[in-house]
Amino acid sequence: MHANILHQEDDVILESVFDINKNFAKVVSNKTGAKVCNQDSELFKNKDIDAILIASVTSTHADYIEKALTNHKPVFCEKPIDLSLNRIRQCYNRIKKNDLPIQIGFNRRFDPSHAKIKNLLKENKIGQLNQVIITSRDPEMPSEEYYKSAGGLFRDMTIHDFDLARFYLDEDPIEIFASAQKLIDPNMMNKISDHDTAMFILTCKDGKQCFINNSRTAVYGYDQRVELLGSNGMLQSGNHNLDQTKIYKRESSETSSPYLYFFIERYQEAFSLQLKSFIRSVKQNSSTDVGFEDGYKALVIAEAAYKSLEERKSVSINYDW
């Protein structure tokens, strides 16, 4: 997906690609004209490459970030930076003196409807923000193989929502309460020690609240909604349908087409816009819209959520490096 987006950019050349699956790398090469590298080290040392995009397995992310910046290349890295806060801190200490652009792939900030309500909020259209309500439900459960490497519901799925919460609240929540259950497929959840349904309440220093609800399955489709409640009104970013057609009949007052199936379809434009933003930062050698610190803080919140779940109470969130 990332390769296709970059290939369509007029001012970008996809120079090289590396994947441990050589056949997949060849498919990307055939579609984009990129050279296939036999070793990942070739990418970092290639002087014809101006920037690196990392969309590999999570366990490689921190290492690749370090290698890219050591070789003076700006880097875009898919979330999360790592599943270990200690590894992220170690990575940060190694790269913190580097001023090259680093962007983390929290694409939902770039979704046009999500971004629009953020802009309207900044324009004071609803007055003082009091509550953020985020609904994020997948259309169906992932495979057991996916679960084994995902790092758990909070680190894999909810981490996007934790980032969105910070995006809208415009500050770091200081407290979180988490509740999670095994309702959809208890047998699998017990087997992999994970949860498939969860709710969270985040609280800021000034009292602002954020409520997040997650489910690994919503039979009616990919459910992605954001609601901002202010002192003078409310803003909503709703779901996207295949089209805007609605049917009114005797049996039903309003029937719409299904929601866009999953994240690739729903956030297709967001994926493109986030890479455009990164390209702009590379050209201008400027800071990115979603930096390394954002990636770190989203995982900090996820870890605090697990602590809350274990202790069955609200816990403080400590962002110290």
pLDDT tens per residue across span 25-48? 999 899 999 999 999 999 999 999
| Across 56-60, 141-145, 285-289, least confident range | 141-145
- Among the listed residues 245, 148, 230, the one whose alpha carbon sits nearest the alpha carbon of residue 189: 148
Residue 146 is predicted with a pLDDT of 86
Per-residue b or e along 42-71, where b marks 16 or more CB atoms closer than 10 Å to that residue's CB: ebbebeebebbbbebebeebbebbbbbbeb
**CA-based max dimension of the chain:** 67
Fold of 111-261+293-316: Dihydrodipicolinate Reductase; domain 2 (3.30.360)
pLDDT band of residue 258 (cuts 50, 70, 90) is low
Q: Is the pLDDT of residue 254 over 80?
A: no
Query: C-alpha 196: how far from its chain's center?
Result: 18
| The pLDDT of residue 292 is above 80 | yes
Give domain 2-107's CATH superfamily.
Answer: NAD(P)-binding Rossmann-like Domain (3.40.50.720)
Give the pLDDT mean for 266-280. Answer: 92
pLDDT in the model for residue 18: 94
Residue 91 main-chain phi, psi, to 5 deg: -60, -45
What is the per-residue pLDDT for 221?
A: 86
**pLDDT greater than 80 at residue 158:** yes
Helix (H, G, I), strand (E, B) or coil at 129: strand
Average pLDDT over residues 10-14: 87
Question: Above 70 in pLDDT, residue 67?
Answer: yes
Give, in order, the Cα–Cα distances in Å from 100 to each of 69, 105, 291.
7, 16, 11
pLDDT digits (tens, 9 = 90+) for 97-122: 999 999 999 999 999 999 999 999 99
Work out the pLDDT band at 243, boundaries 50, 70, 90: low
Tell me the whole-structure pTM to 2 decimals.
Answer: 0.92
Q: What is the pLDDT of residue 267?
A: 87
Indicate the domain borders of the chain: 2-107, 111-261+293-316
Predicted local confidence at residue 257, as pLDDT: 57
